[in-house]
Amino acid sequence: MTRPDSDVTKSLIVLAVFQYIFLCRALRLWRAHRKHSQYPYKTRESFASMTNEHAWEIQKYVFSLEFPFTVEKSLQFALFRTYGIPTISTLLVKTKQLSYSATASKRVVDTAVLISEFIGHSPTTARHNAAIARMNYLHSIYQKSGLISNDDMLFTLALFALEPIRWIARYEWRDLTPMETCAIATFWKSTGDAMGISYDALPSSGTGWKDGLHWLEEVEAWSQAYEERYMVPDVHNHQTANETTAILLYEMPKSLWPIGKRIVSAMMDDRLRAAMLYEPPPPGYIERVNYVFLVRRLILRNLALPRPYALRYMTVTDDPDPKTGRYYRTGYDAEPWYVPATFWNRFGPQAWMRWLAGRPYPGRGFKPEGLTIPEVGPVNMEGKGRDYFEGTKEKLMGMGRGGCPFAFQKE
């Protein structure tokens, strides 16, 4: 017979488990509700007045606290997806920035640094506008020579707005709210304005958009039509995809790379997979990948407490080095670019594991002295374009970029 005290213990354990699950779910939903209560955007009509400053604040909360892992992967995949357009992949092969292993890792890191800088800082700050100014300079070289078209720029912008929304809907523990979706759209529409991207290809470019959601609907429809026409198989797509996949699988033993490549293929849709000249994954891979994300979703929703602000996701230090004025990356996946060569980073457990595996760790050759925004980019462009950078940054700072990007349409 079962002892009474044993039954009581089991009942208490079951009760404690259910209480913990309730606590996790309640705290997660409470934080989302609390965040929404801080802003006046309760209806679709109110979205028309959403400011870029508020949009950035809401997006930063979503990206750094609510869904940091999924957002990071979605932005990486957004960049990866652009390589399915031959005009984009051909340029990357021609410049050797992402088609050769010697330069691919740094190019990915530099892109991530610039994006994280203008995502992570208010559109009214110098750091935000410095990152966009530097990015505009790097693009301008190829725009002047006709190697980057406005359509390719608009397509890339569209993916950076759309992929986080799609990935969160597909893989996360809750959906985005309309306010959060509008904030992401509003932020990226304003970013496109700052980058000088023309929206003439969109139906409402002449009359203007009601709000961020209206802009998002049109840019999504346009980008899908663009993919149908221009995302086609090309050897340059395959070359850039291979180098990017190698970075994604960097930490895996080489013996497991075939499995890793099948997983990457499983996360592509049919059109992208065909454009990259990748083989379809074996039967069952797509289902297994989806199952893993389903389990993760259930664990986060029911067993994980909300991420505290102290553990918010960030890739570049908030404050500069007091001696040098330079910034550092806070971590790394493949090569340790811009990571300080501290005692811990060079002799800690991760460094020893990488040394034993023959992989690089922070130190000489990977700019351990940190970074400044005007230096970010290919080696042959480091420090170049200072006048362009300063002029563009000053212009952006004077544009009042914290306001509503749709306000001028109402005047």
- pLDDT, position 333: 83
76-121 residue pLDDT tens: 999 999 999 999 999 999 887 665 666 788 989 999 999 999 999 9
**Which three-class secondary structure state does DSSP give residue 329?**
strand
Query: How far apart are alpha carbons 350 and 370 in whole angstroms?
Result: 20
Residue 154, burial from CB neighbour count under 10 angstroms (0-12, 13-18, 19+): buried
Segment among 7-16, 145-154, 381-390 with least mean pLDDT: 7-16
Looking at residue 148, what DSSP letter applies?
A: S
Q: What percent of the chain has pLDDT over 70?
A: 97
User: Is the pLDDT at 1 greater than 70, yes or no?
Assistant: no
Using left for φ > 0, alpha for ψ between -120 and 50, and beta otherwise, residue 104 falls in alpha
Average pLDDT for the chain: 93
User: Is the pLDDT at 409 greater than 60, yes or no?
Assistant: no
- pLDDT, position 236: 96
Q: Which amino acid is at 188?
A: W
164-219 residue pLDDT tens: 999 999 999 999 999 999 999 999 999 999 999 999 999 999 999 999 999 999 99
Query: How far apart are alpha carbons 405 and 193 in whole angstroms?
Result: 8
Nearest to 209 by CA among 53, 40, 44: 44
* Residue 2 pLDDT grade (very low, low, confident, very high; cuts 50, 70, 90): low
* Residue 411 pLDDT grade (very low, low, confident, very high; cuts 50, 70, 90): very low
Q: What percent of the chain has pLDDT over 90?
A: 83
Nearest to 345 by CA among 330, 357, 359: 330
User: Is the pLDDT at 346 greater than 90, yes or no?
Assistant: yes
- pLDDT, position 251: 83
Question: How many C-beta neighbours within 10 Å does residue 107 have?
Answer: 21
Domain boundaries, the chain: 39-314+387-410, 317-370
- pLDDT, position 410: 45
User: Is the pLDDT at 147 greater than 60, yes or no?
Assistant: yes
Structure tokens at 260: 């890793």
Structure tokens at 258: 């075939």
Arithmetic mean of pLDDT, 66-75: 97
- pLDDT, position 3: 66
Query: How far apart are alpha carbons 295 and 301 in whole angstroms?
Result: 10
Residues belonging to the chain: 411
User: Is the pLDDT at 129 greater than 60, yes or no?
Assistant: yes
- pLDDT, position 334: 86
Looking at residue 360, what DSSP letter applies?
A: -
309-343 residue pLDDT tens: 999 999 999 999 999 999 999 999 889 999 999 99
239-259 residue pLDDT tens: 999 999 998 898 888 899 999
268-304 residue pLDDT tens: 999 999 999 999 999 999 999 999 999 999 999 999 9
What residues form DSSP beta bridges with 316? Answer: 329
Query: How far apart are alpha carbons 92 and 383 in whole angstroms?
Result: 21
* 327 phi, psi to nearest 5 deg: -110, 160
